[in-house]
Amino acid sequence: MHLLIVLLIVALDQISKYAAVKHLKAEKPYVLIKNFFQLEYIENYGAAFGILQNKRIFFILTTAIVIVGIIVIFVRYSSQFNKTMNIALSMLMGGTIGNFIDRIRLSYVIDFISVKIGNSYDFPVFNIADMFIVVGTFLIVIMVSFNRYRI
C-alpha cells in the first residue's frame, strides 16, 4: 500500500508539472482568486523560499540520502508504525521523489501554485510535491513529538 501511495503522489506531481509547462510557461499568471490564489510557472533552482540557488549537486546528493533514509526506515520499522505514520512517510517519500525527478531531469524544480494574502504577504510559489513533503513532515513531527507513531 505504501508503494501505491508513493507512486500516486509522484504521478500527480509530475502530471501537474507537465500541465504547468504546457499551459503556464511563458504566460501571465492565471488568477483563480484575486489577491489570494493564482497559478504561475516558476523554475526554482534553489530550495524553499529561493535559498541555495544553483546548488544542484548539493540538492541531488541530499535528496538521494533522504530517499535512502526513508527506504531504510520503511524496511526496518514500517511494521511497528501505525497507519498514519506509514502514510506520512509515504507522503514525504512521494513528494521527495517528485522534486528529485525534476532536479535530475531539468536541473530545477517546476513550481506553479502561488498563494498571496492581499498585498501584505506573498508566499513562495510551490508545487504538489512540496505540499506532500510539508504535510508528511508535519504529521511525522507531531506523531514523534507526542509518541503516537507505533502500533
Q: Which residues are catalytic?
A: 111, 130
CA gap 70, 65 in Å, rounded: 9
Burial 25-47 (b: 16+ CB within 10 A, else e): eeeeeeeeeeeeebbbbbebbbb
CA gap 2, 46 in Å, rounded: 29
CA gap 69, 75 in Å, rounded: 10
* CA of residue 19 relative to chain centroid, distance: 17
Q: How is residue 49 written as a grid cell?
A: 523560499
